[in-house]
Every structure is written in structure tokens, then in C-alpha cells.
A and B are shown apart, each in its own frame.
Chain A
Amino acid sequence: MGVGIQVTNLNAWYGTNHTLLDINLHIPANQATALIGPSGCGKSTFVRCLNRMHETNPIAKVSGSVQIGEVDIYADASPVEIRRRIGMVFQRPNPFPTMSIYDNVASGLRLNGFRNRRVLDETVERSLKHAALWDEVKNDLKKKSGASLSGGQQQRLCIARALAVDPEVLLMDEPASALDPVSTAKIEDLIFQLKSQYTIVIVTHNMQQAARVAERTGFFLNGKLVEFDSTHKIFTNPGDKRTEDYITGRFG
């Protein structure tokens, strides 16, 4: 089951560049929450703060608190534990190139020392089915490299890989921006199905996409969260002039 995320006074820096300023919001459990905004507004940095990927960059810094369920991820846990509970799908599909499809999906469990063959087999099958990829790859699971799939399939493979470690939250950083419309539609269908079991946070450039998949939408601009409300409200009756300007295409 998914859990809610409470973000309080979150600030983030790259070197001296202050990229996130005092972000406060609550992301509800088992819903999809979309983050929109122009390039460089801080939305990617924000999701990377939610699973402590931000700090993998040596010049990055962060302050404030992020509570996922009962856990304050910056105070109570190591980054490694946090990232197991919070899966991430990146902008460009990034399967492990030397691994088979099966090994890609199993990698999260295996690299954390899990070896039971039967459970691995089951997990791989369940995750690939969840990611709507099973029927397309079930015959070459161990024969083909993950890198030999098409872009859209690779991205679903990456989703399956993230689901295999059984996270509570799934972060998606523009998961469809490198994909064609058919693959994009498949990813969106998937988000629809997955949100009954996971809390989903999706960063997107595509406002229609946000409107289609998300219950709630946040609008970022210049490192600030300008507005956060139900998707319906944001797209039909935004409270802030800047949100309205962005939605109606006056900038960005």
C-alpha cells in the first residue's frame, strides 16, 4: 500500500544555486500527484529530494524535512533504505545494458542479497505483468538484453524493475518525455492502474498528461511551489495568476 508524503520547509541547493525555496506540501497516499512547470523550475530536483537522490551529486545540499508515512527520511534512515521504499523511474529509460530482461527486473532484489529462485521468478513475472510488459517479453526473458527493447518497452522495463523491490511510493521524472505517443499512452494507462497500490508522484512537461493521470497537481516556478490543488481546480480555475498564465500557454 502507498503512504502519504509530508514535505515541510524543503530547501535545496546545487553549489550556491538555490534551486528549491521553502516547499511545503502534502502528497496524499494512493493517488497520482503531478508536478508541472517550465524547465529549470525545480520540479525534478524536488522529486529527487523525496528519495535522497539529490544528494548523490557531490555539490548538492538540502534542508527541511520530508516525512514518508511515519519516517522522516533525512533524520531516521539511510539513503539506501529510503530508496528501497521509494522507487524511481527516470526521464530516459536506463535498463542495465549488460543484463537480460529477467536480470534487470530481479536486479533490485539480487543486489540487496536476495537469492531465492522461486520467489525471484514470481516477483519478476508479477512486476512485468504490473508494468504491462509481460506478454511482449515472456519468451525472451533470459535471452534478450534489456537494451534490445524499444524505448517504450525499456521504460516499462524500468517501471517493472522499480516495482520489483515493492516500494510504497513511485517517483516518475518525466517518464514519457522520450517516448512516442503510443508508448506514452501505455505508460499513462499504467499509472492509472498502479495508483491503487502505490503513491505516485509524476513530473511532467505535458499539461494534458497531468490532467489525464493525476488527482492533484502542483505548479512550480523558479524554485517555488506556486500552487498545489486538485488537478481539476488547477486546470479550470487556478488561484494564482502565474498558474493561469502557464496553463494557458502564455509562457513556458
Chain B
Amino acid sequence: MTQTKFSAANRFRRTVVNHLASGLAVLSTILVVAPLIAIFIYLLYKGASSLNLAFFTQAPKPVGESGGGMANAILGSGILLIIGSLLGVPIGIAAGIFLAEYGRGSKLANIVRFTADVLNGVPSIVMGIAIYSLIVLPQKHFSALSGGIALGIMMIPTITRTTEEMLLMVPHAVREAALGLGVPTWRAVLSITLRTASPGVITGCMLAFARVAGETAPLLFTAFGNNFWSANLNEPIAALPLQIYVYALSPYDEWHRLAWAGSLVLIVLIVVSVSLVRYVTTRGVLKGAS
């Protein structure tokens, strides 16, 4: 037996299998990254030529007039995402803490976890309709606030589930160390467990943020869109994805070009904001911290 185990044929087979596995891993990576790069290059090709100062400083011009930009939509998207994050991040993290630290194994926790998973699967257009009937109809007008709330609710399940997973990965010994020092449970959870898990939790928040940043459907009947400057939370507000949607469906070439430019700007803004958050939150990491 031992003779055959170390034979040349076996060694050859192992080498081949090893290379095959590495090759598959590389191939999969390429398959994952390639579409992203392709989309980006295509957007650059289609949209970069329409980018100019006016795009970033002006609101859209009426049909027939050339020029104009999407500055109001960039501002609008920023406002909507801030409202969404203010709502989604704290609730999402708090629910994740409940699932991992307090409710473990309880009936309520199972219900919350199940609800979060279902919420994650709800089509975004349904979220838009739900917020429309819950907030827009009673108020009798579209508003930035309702759009932000729709985005915020969409962020919650992703953040909750990643927070839970990340907290569960923190070794039990770390919790015991904190409790053993005479630290109250709530303090140990916030200052020790959550802090230890923070890189993963931040990744979860960024995923949720990037996902809703490009959402159009939940904004159609809530934020509605606006061709003029507005920062009023009680009025309809422009948003990049909405503007792109409207322009792309329009019959005008000028608007098509602006839609491409808008798509490019949207992707770049998402990448920049995610990288920025990552840079800021990893700056203080110490040598040797795991």
C-alpha cells in the first residue's frame, strides 16, 4: 500500500488536480470580475463624452433646450441615501445585536430572522408600493422622506443578517473576558463584541448602501423625481437612478447621452463613497490586530 501511495503516477495526478483546482479558482474570479469591468468600460465609452461642468452644476433643461445636467439628482440621491442610512443602519445593527447576543435561540429571534430573510427577498417595486400606500397616500403628496424611508427599510435585512453573522464569529472568550472584568452586558456588547466585529459589520452596511443607491423601483411612487432643485424633505426629490430611468426611456438623443453619463456618475459615486468609508474606518487598525 505505502509503495503505491508515493508512486510517480500518484504524484503526477496530485499535481494535475492541484493545478486544475487553482485554475478553476482563477477562472471563477475572472468570470465574477469581467462583467463589472465590461460595464464600467462601456459606461465610460458611452457616458464620459457627455460629462462636463454643467452636468455637475445644473438642473435639467426643458425638452428642446440643449445642455443642463443632473446636479439636482446627485444632491437628491445624496439626501435619500442619508435618510435611508440614518434609518437602516441603526435599526439593522440593533436587530443584528438582538439576534446574536440577546435573543439567541428564542422564539422572537427566529421570527425576526425569518422576517428579515423574507424582507430581503421582497421585490423593490413592492417596497415602493408599500411605502406609497403607507406614507404617500395618507400625506397626499410624494416626498423625499418617503423615498428615504423606502430605501432605509430595504437596507435593514442585509445589515441585520451580516451583523448577526459577524457577531457570532467573535470568539466566546472575548465576551467572557469583558464580563470577567465586571463590565455590564450592554457595555460589553457595544464596546467589545460589536467593536471586534466592526470590519464585517461595516462591510454589511456598505453592501446594503451600494444596493439601494442604484434602486429605481422603490423611488418611483415615493420620491417621484423632480426636474428642479429641491432639498425639501416634504417635496418630491430627484434621484440619479430615477433620472436615468426617465431619460433612458425618452425619445431624445440628448437625454440618452445624459442617461449614460448619469449611470457612469452613479457607479463612480458608489465606488468612491464605499472606498471612503472603508478608508476612514480602517485607518486606526493596529499592527497585528486580527
Q: What number of B residues sit within 8 Å (CB to CB) of A? A: 25
The main secondary structure of chain B at its interface with chain A is helix
- In the assembled complex, B4 has its CB within 8 A of some CB on chain A: no
Residue of A nearest to B199 (CB): A98
- In the assembled complex, A135 has its CB within 8 A of some CB on chain B: no
> Quick one: which of A84, A100, A140, A147 contacts B182, CB cutoff 8 A?
A84
Within 8 A of A (CB), among B164-190: 171, 173-174, 176-184, 187-188
Contact A98 B287 (CB under 8 A): no
- In the assembled complex, A144 has its CB within 8 A of some CB on chain B: yes
Within 8 A of B (CB), among A81-129: 81-85, 87-88, 90, 92, 94-100, 107-108, 111-112
> Quick one: which of A84, A88, A98 contacts B198, CB cutoff 8 A?
A98
Residues of B within 8 A of A165 (CB): 181-182
- In the assembled complex, B64 has its CB within 8 A of some CB on chain A: no
A81 to B179, CA, bound (A): 11
- In the assembled complex, A51 has its CB within 8 A of some CB on chain B: yes
Contact B173 A90 (CB under 8 A): yes
> Quick one: which of A82, A85, A96, A148 contacts B192, CB cutoff 8 A?
A96
Contact A94 B177 (CB under 8 A): yes
Shortest Cβ gap from A238 to chain B (Å): 32
Contact A80 B289 (CB under 8 A): no
> Quick one: which of A84, A97, A149 contacts B181, CB cutoff 8 A?
A84
Contact A148 B287 (CB under 8 A): yes
> Quick one: which of A53, A80, A108, A147 contacts B176, CB cutoff 8 A?
A53
- In the assembled complex, B196 has its CB within 8 A of some CB on chain A: yes
Binary interface encoding of chain B residues 186-230 relative to chain A, with 1 for a CB under 8 A from any of its CBs, else 0: 011001100110100000000000000000000000000000000
Residue of B nearest to A171 (CB): B180
Contact B180 A83 (CB under 8 A): yes
The main secondary structure of chain A at its interface with chain B is mixed
A56 to B180, CA, bound (A): 10
A190 to B198, CA, bound (A): 35
Q: Do A158 and B176 form a contact, CB below 8 Å, given A80-B182, A143-B286?
A: no
Q: Do A108 and B182 form a contact, CB below 8 Å, given A90-B173, A96-B192, A145-B289?
A: yes
Binary interface encoding of chain A residues 46-58 relative to chain B, with 1 for a CB under 8 A from any of its CBs, else 0: 0000010100100
Residues of B within 8 A of A90 (CB): 173, 176-177, 180
- In the assembled complex, A156 has its CB within 8 A of some CB on chain B: no
Contact A53 B286 (CB under 8 A): no
Contact A144 B286 (CB under 8 A): yes
- In the assembled complex, B288 has its CB within 8 A of some CB on chain A: yes
- In the assembled complex, B66 has its CB within 8 A of some CB on chain A: no
- In the assembled complex, B290 has its CB within 8 A of some CB on chain A: yes
Contact A158 B177 (CB under 8 A): yes
20 contacts between A and B (CB under 8 A): A53-B176, A56-B179, A80-B182, A84-B181, A88-B180, A90-B177, A92-B173, A94-B173, A97-B290, A98-B195, A107-B181, A111-B178, A140-B287, A144-B286, A144-B288, A145-B287, A145-B288, A145-B290, A147-B290, A161-B177
